[in-house]
């Protein structure tokens, strides 16, 4: 399967009070279409081109919304100001495939030659403010702690320590085969979640991988297998207000078929906690996303392809069930911390709806919508904005048109970043 070459992101600015109906002030949207990075004010602003390049992807706003970092097919990390006055190709770019904004500040960590260099705007992003060994890993919400993987001929180690004092790192776990991937810190910043990979470097397509919780006396295997590695935030979401992880669980990593659902895991203590699956036994659930207040959980849900195939006449092949399962995906939501009544927010049979993203004030949801004509390959892709109750849905950007050669085939939608 191919990865999509479009990604999306929205800035972190919202007006506290907004009149009805949806009006100006709902943030800015950065998106890639036709090899160009665009920006527009939501919901009805005119798109403005910011940068062009080869297979631009992964645009991400800085915490202030003033800058956008993105990657291109030439293995370059590029930086541009949101108003377009700073050229991200000739002025601020690095030969790297990885970059990340530090929590809550306009400081950019770029992985270069086995190190992570942190840049800021004080000197126009030219000289690193700090150099850290290894990949940037995960950073605590207050920016004081860091967890990352280190590797050498002896194997791989998971390290944790103060962000500005990497020499004080503590070894959390080590292995001679496989490795570690850190998902995120819990809200308090003293505990973090990671998962393990096998000796073949298996990712989320290979099967359930053990999730661990660390920060106590020793790491604890939560007993939960997930489709997380390699699929990013589309497979897991940590509540912003409680130590609860919403996660996709299932039998293997194929997100289109085989039973798959959304489950909740309590990560508040070192003891193993029971996993509570909240979606039904005959559906596939993906892309869990918490509202900013942690009271509601949104996700993508559709019928399971395997069960649909069993219901088809014997003359029909599996592709029929596969396409129908993808075509019937909708955005769902549940209140009461994900345990409340479940209801669909979208229901138009002409489209496939996926990847819900909440606005910072919790009043709106941005989501991806695909034309029903080809729900599996997803040739025609648009972005829609709706109120959190599912009303007043409107298209806000077209990411592709039919036969757009810039978009590869496949429903893989997990290299995405979006904030309102």
Are 173 and 211 within 8 A, CB to CB?
A: no
Rounded to whole angstroms, the Cα distance separating 309 from 302 reads: 14
What phi-psi label fits residue 222: left (phi over 0), alpha (psi between -120 and 50 degrees) or beta? alpha
Instruction: Tell me the two tokens of residue 273.
Output: 């906690």
Rounded to whole angstroms, the Cα distance separating 221 from 209 reads: 11
Least confident range from 108-122, 188-202, 221-235, 327-341: namely: 221-235
Most distant CA atoms of the chain, gap in Å: 67
16: pLDDT confidence band, cut at 50, 70 and 90?
very low
Q: Provide the pairing of β-strand 244-250 with 99-101.
A: unpaired
- Rounded average pLDDT over 70-91: 78
Rounded to whole angstroms, the Cα distance separating 367 from 362 reads: 14
Phi/psi at 124 (nearest 5 deg)? 60, 35
Rounded to whole angstroms, the Cα distance separating 60 from 58 reads: 6
Bridge partners of residue 246, in order along the sequence: 237, 264
- Residue 197 pLDDT greater than 50, yes or no: yes
Most confident segment among 1-5, 145-149, 183-187, 302-306: 145-149
147: pLDDT confidence band, cut at 50, 70 and 90?
very high
Rounded to whole angstroms, the Cα distance separating 22 from 26 reads: 8
Instruction: Tell me the two tokens of residue 110.
Output: 């770029």
Instruction: Tell me the two tokens of residue 178.
Output: 């496989």
Closest CA to 397 of 59, 100, 53: 59
- Rounded average pLDDT over 390-395: 95
- Give pLDDT, residue 225: 59
Which residues, 6+ apart, have CB-to-CB distance to 121 below 8 Å? 67, 106
- Give pLDDT, residue 323: 79
- Rounded average pLDDT over 193-220: 69
Across all residues in the chain, what is the average pLDDT? 78
What's the distance, Cα to Cα, between the start and end of the chain in Å? 29
- Rounded average pLDDT over 388-400: 90
This prediction has a pTM of 0.83
- Give pLDDT, residue 167: 80
Are 399 and 33 within 8 A, CB to CB?
A: yes
| Domain range list for the chain | 99-163
Give me the long-range contacts of 140-143 (CB less than 8 A, separation at least 24): 140/103, 140/185, 140/189, 140/190, 140/192, 141/103, 141/104, 141/185, 141/187, 141/189, 142/103, 142/189, 143/102, 143/103, 143/104, 143/105
Least confident range from 106-110, 199-203, 262-266, 353-357: namely: 199-203
Are 249 and 260 within 8 A, CB to CB?
A: yes
- Residue 142 pLDDT greater than 50, yes or no: yes
Closest CA to 259 of 249, 272, 273, 274: 249
- Rounded average pLDDT over 381-404: 83
401: pLDDT confidence band, cut at 50, 70 and 90?
low
Of 258 and 288, the one with more pLDDT: 288
Beginning with the edge strand found earlier in the chain, give each strand of the sheet holding 179-185 in spatial order.
179-185, 192-197, 209-214, 220-226
Q: What is the 3-state secondary structure (H, E, C) of the chain?
A: CCCCCCCEEECCCCCCCCCCCCCCCCCEEEEEECCEEEEEECCCCCCEEEEECCCCEEEEECCCCCEEEEEECCCEEEEEECCCCCCCCCCCEECCCCEEECCCCCEEEEEECCEEEEEEHHHCCCCCCEEEECCCCEECCCCCEEEEEEEECCEEEEEEEECCCHHHCEEEEEECCCEEEEEEECCCCCCEEEEEECCCCCCCCCCCEEEEEECCCCCEEEEEEECCCCCHHHCEEECCCCCEEEEEEECCCCCCCCCEEEEEEECCCCCCCCCEECCCCCEEEEEEEECCCCCCEEEEEEECHHHHHHHCCCCCCHHHHHHHHHHCCEEEEECHHHCCCEEECCCCCCEEEEEEEECCCCCEEEEEEEEHHHCCCCCCEEEEEEECCCCCCEEEEECCCCCCCCCCCCCCCCCCCCCC
């Amino acid at each position: 399967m191919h990865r999509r070459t479009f990604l999306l992101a929205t800035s972190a600015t919202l007006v506290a009070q907004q009149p009805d109906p949806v009006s100006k002030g709902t943030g800015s949207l950065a998106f890639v279409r036709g090899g160009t990075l665009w920006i527009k004010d939501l919901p009805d602003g005119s798109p403005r081109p910011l940068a062009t390049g080869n297979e631009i992807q992964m645009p991400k706003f800085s915490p202030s919304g003033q800058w956008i970092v993105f990657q291109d097919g030439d293995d370059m990390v590029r930086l541009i100001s949101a108003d377009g006055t700073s050229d991200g190709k000739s002025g601020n770019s690095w030969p790297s495939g990885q970059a990340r904004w530090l929590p809550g500040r306009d400081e950019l960590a770029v992985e270069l030659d086995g190190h992570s260099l942190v840049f800021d705007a004080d000197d126009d992003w030219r000289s690193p403010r700090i150099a850290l060994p290894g990949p940037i890993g995960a950073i605590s919400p207050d920016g004081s702690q860091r967890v990352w993987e280190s590797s050498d001929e002896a194997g791989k180690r998971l390290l944790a320590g103060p962000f500005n004092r990497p020499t004080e790192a503590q070894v959390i776990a080590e292995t001679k085969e496989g490795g570690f991937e850190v998902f995120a810190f819990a809200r308090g910043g003293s505990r973090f979640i990671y998962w393990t990979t096998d000796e073949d470097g298996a990712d989320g397509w290979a099967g359930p991988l053990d999730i661990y919780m660390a920060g106590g006396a020793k790491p604890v295997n939560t007993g939960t297998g997930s489709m997380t590695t390699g699929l990013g935030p589309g497979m897991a979401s940590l509540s912003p207000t409680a130590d609860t992880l919403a996660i996709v669980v299932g039998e293997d990593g194929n997100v289109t078929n085989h039973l798959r659902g959304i489950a909740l895991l309590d990560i508040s203590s070192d003891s193993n906690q029971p996993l509570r699956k909240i979606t039904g036994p005959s559906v596939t659930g993906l892309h869990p996303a918490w509202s900013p207040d942690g009271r509601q959980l949104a996700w993508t849900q559709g019928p399971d392809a395997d069960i649909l195939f069993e219901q088809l006449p014997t003359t029909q092949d599996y592709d029929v069930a596969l396409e129908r399962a993808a075509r019937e995906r909708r955005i769902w939501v549940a209140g009461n911390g994900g345990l409340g009544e479940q209801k669909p927010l979208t229901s138009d049979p002409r489209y496939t709806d996926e990847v819900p993203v909440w606005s910072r004030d919790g009043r709106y949801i941005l989501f991806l919508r695909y034309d029903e004509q080809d729900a599996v390959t997803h040739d025609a892709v648009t972005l829609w904005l709706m109120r959190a109750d599912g009303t007043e849905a409107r298209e806000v950007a077209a990411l592709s048109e039919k036969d757009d050669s810039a978009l590869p085939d496949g429903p893989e939608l997990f290299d995405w970043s979006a904030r309102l």
